Amino acid sequence: MKNLETPLLKFALYGAQSSIGSALLVQLLNRQHEGVAILSDLNALTARPGLRAKSGDLFDALSVSESVAGMDAVIAVLSSPRLPAGDQQDDSRTPRRQLEAIEALALGMPRVKVDQLLLIGDFAWLDGPAQLGDLAERVQDALQRSTLRWTLVNAPAVQDGLSIDDLRSPGETPTEQVRQELLSFAACAVDELENPQHLGKRMNVRL
């Protein structure tokens, strides 16, 4: 049953076709939040109560504006191997592509007055070698100069390709430990979405 003290959130999710995206959807839909999964292929995800699919390009600010209009919050799983990226075919998980996604979100979301952003990914590179320093500074600049209420969440290393159905109930795939760890991570991320405690910071989730 819905906790009446927790307001309904309308969310937009980039990276729904990842294991982390699937776990987030399980937790979001279990809590009766409603939203859209933004995809390149609208047939890639089965429609469910409270969830619909919408086309979009995470790396284009105008597309971001059109895709997230009317939402309360945006979640971008930048560690996902499948992100809506227009005609681009290169790996969306590289630092440069993550920067491009963050810049597009920072420009596109304020245009439609959506200000809460949860970024989930492998952000170890932000503290990495000196040659990535310029990219890290640009990420920091894009976020801090924006009007967004943002949180970075360090993503765990997880088995990819798990669906909502894989995670909803115990089964052979994945193992119960993997399922519980993914759902625990997703629960913490959704908690942050509902009641932000780490705005403007990087957040680690202990599993």
Q: For 110-145, how does the pLDDT look when each residue is reduced to its tens digit (9 = 90+)?
A: 999 999 999 999 998 888 776 677 889 999 999 999
Q: Is the pLDDT of residue 46 over 80?
A: yes
DSSP state of 28: H
Q: Say if CB 16 and CB 22 are below 8 A apart.
A: yes
Amino acid letter at 68? V
Q: pLDDT exceeding 90 applies to what percent of the chain?
A: 66
pTM as predicted: 0.92
**pLDDT tens for residues 155-183?**
998 888 899 988 988 876 678 888 999 99
User: What's the pLDDT score for residue 170?
Assistant: 80
Question: What are the phi and psi torsion angles at 121 (to 5°)?
Answer: -175, 180
Considering only CA atoms, which of 27, 30, 117, 106 is closest in space to residue 72?
117
d(CA 18, CA 4): 30
